Amino acid sequence: MKLSRFTRAGLATFAACVVFFLIAPLLVILLFAFDASNVQTFPIHHWTTYWFSVAWHDPAVRSALWLSVKAGVLATAIALILGTMVAFGIHRYRFFGRDTVSLLLVLPIALPGIVTGLALQSAFNLVGIPFSIYTIVIGHATFCIVVVFNNVVARLRRTSTSLMEASADLGASPLQTFRLVTLPTISTAVIAGGLLAFALSFDEVIVTTFTAGAQNTLPLWIFGAIRLGQQLPEVNAVVVGVVLLTLIPIAFAARMSSGEGTGRSTRSSI
């Protein structure tokens, strides 16, 4: 589109401001994590890495981290299996109610998270299931499935079926075709979907509030600490750790899917 130099400059300035607005708060947490003071004031006078070691040696933080990792891994495993299956089903077969299934998949992220959380709590309460790591996993897997689905279905749409047909024509059994042809073409999309699902689960707090009972995942520990206004310098260090731990899998996932499925279900898209 032909734009005047004036319009271009205006847009560039506006975009720079948006980027600053998006990034600056993240730099603030990074800075405050190295603040030596007990009470956070700006500007920062003394610098330290002391709070990172406090956080790392805090048993409450450690057990919360461990629970988050375990729940994230289990939820991701379920999401990988079910998300890939439903992607194949939706992509390969035309059937009555196909659109309804697609709608059903996005429902856990289109409806407010608190609805999913409260619904699960009501069901656990009615059936008499006590809170455990599995109740957390059930909640997380439900909203992680769509992330895997989006990644895999985007890849399937881009690969032509002629490859699989050729494999069958050359005498491969359906299982062989799946293992030797289909799986290698979708593998990076599956891995990317899994990494995104783990990141989503690792960070989730709203649904978890309702499905964790007295257990503390890392986000729940952070929420509790901020709310009570206790151990705030330690919270700073933990929060920086969490951001880094989430961004590493995201960076890998972005590499692997290389912008695939952009525009499909926000968090899974880029």
Q: For other proteins, what does the binding mask look like between residues 203 and 242, x meaning CB under 8 A?
A: x-xx--xx--------x--xx--xx-------xx--xx-x
Among 174, 179, 187, 230, which residue sits at the site for other proteins (rule: CB under 8 A)?
Answer: 174
Distance CA 268, CA 77 (A): 17
Stretch that binds other proteins, among 50-58, 159-167, 180-188, 248-256 (CB under 8 A): 248-256
Among 123, 166, 180, 183, which residue sits at the site for other proteins (rule: CB under 8 A)?
Answer: 123
If one asks whether residue 121 binds other proteins (CB under 8 A), the answer comes out as yes
Phi, psi of 35 (to 5 degrees): -80, 125
Residue nearer to other proteins on the CB measure, 25 or 184: 25
Number of chain residues interacting with other proteins (CB under 8 A): 98
Tell me how far, at minimum, the Cβ of 239 lies from other proteins, in Å.
4
If one asks whether residue 131 binds other proteins (CB under 8 A), the answer comes out as no
Residues in the chain: 270
If one asks whether residue 76 binds other proteins (CB under 8 A), the answer comes out as no
Stretch that binds other proteins, among 1-9, 46-54, 69-77, 159-167 (CB under 8 A): 1-9
Tell me how far, at minimum, the Cβ of 155 lies from other proteins, in Å.
16
The burial of 200, by beta-carbon neighbours within 10 Å (0-12 exposed, 13-18 middle, 19 or more buried), is given as: buried
Stretch that binds other proteins, among 52-60, 152-160, 186-194, 200-208 (CB under 8 A): 200-208
Among 55, 80, 83, 201, which residue sits at the site for other proteins (rule: CB under 8 A)?
Answer: 83
Q: For other proteins, what does the binding mask look like between residues 87 and 116, x meaning CB under 8 A?
A: -xxx-xx-x-----x-xxxxxxxxxxxxxx
If one asks whether residue 265 binds other proteins (CB under 8 A), the answer comes out as yes
Number of H helices, E strands in the chain: 12, 0
Residue carrying structure tokens 């980027």: 19
Residue carrying structure tokens 């059994």: 173
Nearest to 207, CA basis, from 264, 123, 128: 123
| CA-based radius of gyration for the chain | 22
Among 133, 250, 252, 256, which residue sits at the site for other proteins (rule: CB under 8 A)?
Answer: 250
Residue 53, token pair as written in the block: 């070691």
Distance CA 270, CA 260 (A): 7
The burial of 54, by beta-carbon neighbours within 10 Å (0-12 exposed, 13-18 middle, 19 or more buried), is given as: middle
Q: Are 113 and 206 in contact (CB under 8 A)?
A: yes
